[in-house]
Every structure is written in structure tokens, then in C-alpha cells.
């Protein structure tokens, strides 16, 4: 049945690297409106490529903050022209690319407080930023600052124990340190530092919005267990940071109502709530409705793994973030560089370029591949930092130079999924009764690949479309934010969302075969890693 024309709506925005997107859902979680602004093509005056400026050093990557502001003007104007009824919006939330930072100039909060609805935000906020080009997640120019932070925290592992990750160049704390060192004047004229997510929330709120625990975990500054800024990290990073960052808040908090600017310019209701914005990956976890025990595997150019974890064990690889939908829990993110491109290379070399032949090889070879196992790191892998192709047969003592094409095909797929599971478990992931593996991305349409995934994880595999998961997750979070304080669980609010499709269930022998293989994989990986270092 169609929803009434005055029934409530919930908005989710996503300030991602290349575009600003929005979805509107009704109370039954149906998507009723979608819109987007592409930065490169629709805002060419900012001269970005892929939404960013790549600097001559090859390491520095920034985005103009006023481009994001202007994109919001443009998006809301497009929605207005499409006849979108802003008055029906009961709550809004959003997400932003993680790690990027925005520097508000002294006096900007007063400007935000008194926005004139006859002008657009781009005109009003011209002088509100002390840094016009913001460091973003693609930046890798802060290696020195990373080393310094790790030294101050007592080493890489100690920093990971506190903040959920060892020091990473793109993480905000290291970017802030670099900015303060290289541009002390700009830093001095800054009254507030936001993440992209909390910056976007600030625009809607007409006031500085808090950084939420989940996106705050991508800064190397937040203690993920106490959910407060780590004093050691703040002190090591830059002066006055507790004042400049403001206190972090739970990801489900209502920050206040939308500012009068949006009421008067676009016709929002005065009672429309702004729910804390978060990072795009945490918002995707909400969009996928990932639950305890679930693991999401995105099979793309590189493979990304998202996890819900209850008891984190931060390690030297991967990231642990506070969970965006349940405050006692955590999520983890792992990135594997050798994903689809490696599978395709092996398909080309061993299956004449045919996915049918590749799939037949997976069907015709036994679980466990008769003891053959391989590591296929065509390019330097992130998790673990090793390179090269390394094949082992039943006899672990030495590597073998080649195997039959069919064995090679099963070895690459089993090897990749064993690695996903070994590394997920190292961060605290455990398979529990009811565990689901949610597969997404290009290779998630190949049933035989998904069967191996199901067998290696000994859990059913479901497929899910992730294309708008950050936006959708933000809209779900807006809806949940209204009732979260009274203790209503996120999953009760999103019960009606479309269910993922079951595509594979594990073979009865899977547990026995792969529990042994997992141990062997971990042992051999240590060896490969040592060999890569020497
Ligand atoms: C996560 C990361 C990216 C950005 C992209 O750590 O750097 O996924 O969030 O938007």
C-alpha cells in the first residue's frame, strides 16, 4: 500500500569522495527519493579529478571544503525542483568519507548560528575555513608523524590497543599533526576541527556537531574502550586538541533540530532532528544490517571485509572501530589488495579467460584441494604485507613452482578466503551459531566462488547489493536515532528492510577440512611473510 502523502520521511546523506548522495525512505523503509551531485562534472570550477586534488609530491591528496558546501546547495536545490517535500522529514543523518578533516576559522560558529536563508551556503561560508583544501583519506604524506605518534604511544601495537589501529598516514590525528607543523598560522586561526561527517552535520545543525565514536575511531586519537580522546595521543598530536575536537558522542545521538536556515529556505519542519553523522564504512555496516557474528565480504578490485565484533583484539593490521549501531560493540575493517584482479589473472592463465571453465574447476576439485595451498600476492599485499606467488603441496617443507590449472584455480580462491578468515579472527571475529557471510561486489555473482566462501567460513552465504549502503544506512540511522535513547535496538527499527538472498550453504565436511587448513595457512603465511622481508 502506498504511504500517505504526509507520512514521515527520513533522509540519509553520503559525502563520499566523488559525489554527494541522498536517499529518502518512508517509515516502512521504502526508498522514495534518490539524488546526487557529481563533484568533477557538476562542480568543474573546483578542478578536481575523482573529487580530489593530487599534489605534485605524489603523496598529498586534498579536497576543497567549499566544493562540499556548494554540492549541498546544489543537491537541496535539485530535490526542491523535483518537488521533494522537506516538511515530511522527521530526522536526517549522514556519512562522510572517513579520516578527512575540516578546519573552521575563528568566528565560524557565529556565522553558522546566523545563516541568512536568502543566500546559499557557499556564499555564506566563504570565509569560514582556515584551510581551503582539506586532507582526505587518499593522502599518504604523514609517515614521519605516524612514526612520532607510535613512539609517543609506546609502539605500534600499543597504539593499536588504544585506538584500534596502528598509525596510518590517512588517519586524522597524523594529518592534523602535519598541518600544525607545516602551517602553524592556519592552525592558530582554527577554532574547531571536524571530520567530513561531523562537518556535514554541522551545516544542518547550524552549530558545531560532535564527532561520533565510530568515525572518531579512524583518527588514531580516540581510546576505543573508554570512548574518550586518549590523552597520550592528543598530547603527542598537536596543542589544544581537546578544545578543537570537542567531546565525542555516541553514534546514535540526536544532536538537535535542523537549523532555521533549512526551515526557511527549503521548508524543513522545525522539529526535524539531526542524528549524529558517521563514517561511510560504519554507515555501510548499518545499511547492510550487519549483526553480531556476521561478516561482509566485498569482492571488488580489492576485497574489503567488514565485521561485527563483540570483543576486539586490535592488531598491527586492519582497523577496529566503535560500532555505529550498538555502543558496546565494535566493527572491524580489513582491506586486501589482491582481490578480483588476481582472480582474473588466474582465470586468464588457467581457464583461457572463461569464468565457466574457472567455475567448473572449482566444482571438479575437492574441498581442501588435496593439500595444495597458495598465496597469490601479485602486488604488494596490505594484509599481510607480503608479495609474490607462493605454492605449497601436502609437504610443507618447500614451495612448489607449479600445479595443474585446476588445482591453481581452487588454490587461489581457497587461499584468498582462508586469508580473510584468519585475519578476521585475529581481530576478534568469531563464527557463532547464526553467523552469515554477506557477499557483495563483482565476484558475488559467481556461485562456485561463493560455495568456496561458504565452505571456508562454514557458514551460509547471502548476497546483498551494496551500491547505496552508506546512504541507506544513514537513513536507517536517522530513523533509529529518534528512539535509540529509549533503548530501542537498531534491528527492531530496520526489520522491514529487504532481506539478503541465500546463495550457498556449507558442505558437511567443510568444518573438518578447513579448521585444519586454517591453522596451516596461518603457519605458512608467517613463513611467506618472513621470506618477503628477507
Ligand atoms: C577507510 C577508508 C576509505 C574511506 C573511503 O579506512 O579510508 O574506505 O572511508 O570513503
Mutate to test the pocket of ligand 1, among 14, 280, 332 (most ligand atoms within 8 A of CB): 280
* pLDDT band (50, 70, 90) for residue 442: confident
- Whose Cα sits closest to atom 5 in ligand 1? 97
Report residue 138 as a C-alpha cell. Answer: 587518499
The domains found in the chain, sorted by start residue, are 2-276 (3.30.420.40), 289-466+500-534 (3.30.420.40)
Ligand 1 centroid, distance to 470 Cα (angstroms): 12
- 228: closest CA among 244, 208, 209, 250? 250
- 108: closest CA among 173, 194, 216? 194
Secondary structure letter of residue 443 according to DSSP: G
* pLDDT band (50, 70, 90) for residue 1: very low
**3-class DSSP string for 346-414:** HHHHHCCCCHHHHHHHHHHCCCCHHHCEEEEECCCCCCCCCCEEEEECCCCCCEECCCCHHHHHHHHHH
Please write the tens of the pLDDT for every residue from 48-104: 999 999 999 999 999 999 999 999 999 999 999 999 999 999 999 999 999 999 999
Residue with cell 545499511: 287
Which residue ranges have their beta carbon within 6 Å of ligand 1?
A: 16-17, 97-99, 137, 170, 218, 279-281, 333
How many other C-beta atoms can be found within 10 angstroms of the C-beta atom of residue 105?
A: 18
Is pLDDT above 90 for 176?
A: yes
Please write the tens of the pLDDT for every residue from 225-276: 999 999 999 999 999 999 999 999 999 999 999 999 999 999 999 999 999 9
Give Cβ neighbours of residue 258 (< 8 Å, ≥ 6 apart).
Answer: 92, 204, 205, 206, 268, 270, 272, 273, 274
Ranges of H-type helices in 379-445: 405-426
Which of 78-82, 213-217, 339-343, 507-511 bottoms out in mean pLDDT, i.e. has the lowest?
Answer: 339-343
CB-side neighbour CA atoms (13 Å) of 230: 24
Atom of ligand 1 nearest to the CA of 138: 7
Report helix, strand and coil shares of the chain as percent, to nearest 5: 40, 20, 40
* pLDDT band (50, 70, 90) for residue 497: very high
Please write the tens of the pLDDT for every residue from 89-138: 999 999 999 999 999 999 999 999 999 999 999 999 999 999 999 999 99
| Rg of the chain on CA atoms, in Å | 24
Amino acid at each position: 500500500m502506498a504511504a500517505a502523502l504526509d507520512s514521515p520521511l527520513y533522509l540519509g546523506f553520503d559525502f563520499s569522495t566523488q559525489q554527494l548522495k541522498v536517499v529518502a525512505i518512508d517509515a516502512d523503509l521504502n526508498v522514495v527519493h534518490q539524488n546526487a551531485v557529481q563533484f568533477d562534472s557538476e562542480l568543474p570550477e573546483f578542478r578536481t579529478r575523482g573529487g580530489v586534488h593530487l599534489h605534485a609530491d605524489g603523496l598529498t591528496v586534498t579536497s576543497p571544503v567549499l566544493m562540499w558546501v556548494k554540492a549541498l546547495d546544489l543537491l537541496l536545490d535539485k530535490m526542491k525542483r523535483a518537488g521533494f517535500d522537506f516538511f515530511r522529514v522527521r530526522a536526517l543523518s549522514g556519512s562522510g568519507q572517513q579520516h578527512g578533516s575540516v578546519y573552521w576559522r575563528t568566528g565560524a560558529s557565529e556565522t553558522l548560528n546566523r545563516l541568512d536563508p536568502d543566500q546559499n551556503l557557499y556564499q555564506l561560508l566563504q570565509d569560514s575555513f582556515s584551510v581551503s583544501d582539506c586532507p582526505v583519506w587518499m593522502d599518504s604524506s604523514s609517515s614521519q608523524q605516524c612514526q612520532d605518534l607510535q613512539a609517543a604511544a609506546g609502539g605500534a601495537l600499543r597504539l593499536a590497543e588504544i585506538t584500534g589501529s596502528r598509525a596510518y598516514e590517512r588517519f586524522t590525528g597524523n594529518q592534523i599533526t602535519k598541518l600544525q607543523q607545516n602551517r602553524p598560522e592556519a592552525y592558530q586561526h582554527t577554532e574547531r576541527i571536524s571530520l567530513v561527517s561531523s562537518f556535514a552535520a554541522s551545516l544542518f545543525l547550524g552549530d558545531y556537531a560532535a564527532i561520533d565514536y565510530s568515525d572518531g575511531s579512524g583518527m588514531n586519537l580516540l581510546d576505543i574502550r573508554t570512548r574518550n580522546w586518549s590523552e597520550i595521543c592528543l598530547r603527542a598530536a598537536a596543542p589544544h586538541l581537546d578544545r578543537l575536537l570537542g567531546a565525542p558522542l555516541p553514534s546514535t545521538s540526536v544532536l538537535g533540530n535542523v537549523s532555521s536556515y533549512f526551515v526557511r529556505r527549503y521548508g524543513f519542519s522545525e522539529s526535524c532532528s539531526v542524528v549524529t553523522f558517521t563514517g561511510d564504512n560504519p554507515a555501510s555496516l548499518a545499511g547492510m544490517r550487519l549483526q553480531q557474528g556476521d561478516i561482509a565480504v566485498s569482492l571488488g578490485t580489492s576485497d574489503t571485509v567488514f565485521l561485527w565484533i563483540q570483543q576486539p583484539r586490535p592488531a598491527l593490521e586492519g582497523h577496529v572501530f566503535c560500532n555505529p549501531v550498538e555502543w558496546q560493540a565494535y566493527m572491524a575493517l580489513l582491506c586486501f589488495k589482491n582481490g578480483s584482479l588476481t582472480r582474473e589473472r588466474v582465470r586468464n592463465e588457467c581457464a583461457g579467460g572463461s569464468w565457466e571453465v574457472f567455475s567448473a574447476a572449482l566444482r571438479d576439485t575437492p574441498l581442501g584441494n588435496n593439500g595444495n595451498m597458495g598465496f597469490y600476492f601479485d602486488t604488494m599485499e596490505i594484509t599481510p604485507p607480503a608479495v609474490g606467488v607462493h605454492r605449497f603441496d601436502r609437504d610443507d617443507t618447500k614451495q612448489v613452482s607449479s600445479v595443474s590449472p585446476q588445482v591453481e584455480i581452487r588454490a587461489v580462491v581457497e587461499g584468498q578466503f582462508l586469508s580473510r578468515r584468519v585475519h578476521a579472527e585475529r581481530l576478534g571475529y568469531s563464527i557463532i551459531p547464526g553467523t552469515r557471510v554477506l557477499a557483495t561486489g563483482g565476484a558475488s555473482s559467481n556461485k562456485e566462488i561463493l560455495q568456496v566462501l561458504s565452505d571456508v567460513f562454514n557458514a551460509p552465504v547471502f548476497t546483498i547489493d551494496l551500491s547505496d549502503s552508506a546512504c541507506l544506512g544513514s537513513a536507517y540511522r536517522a530513523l533509529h536515532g529518534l528512539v535509540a535513547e529509549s533503548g530501542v535496538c537498531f534491528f527492531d527499527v530496520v526489520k522491514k528492510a529487504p532481506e539478503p538472498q541465500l546463495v550457498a550453504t556449507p558442505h558437511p565436511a567443510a568444518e573438518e577440512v578447513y579448521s585444519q587448513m586454517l591453522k596451516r595457512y596461518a603457519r605458512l603465511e608467517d613463513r611467506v611473510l618472513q621470506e618477503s622481508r628477507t
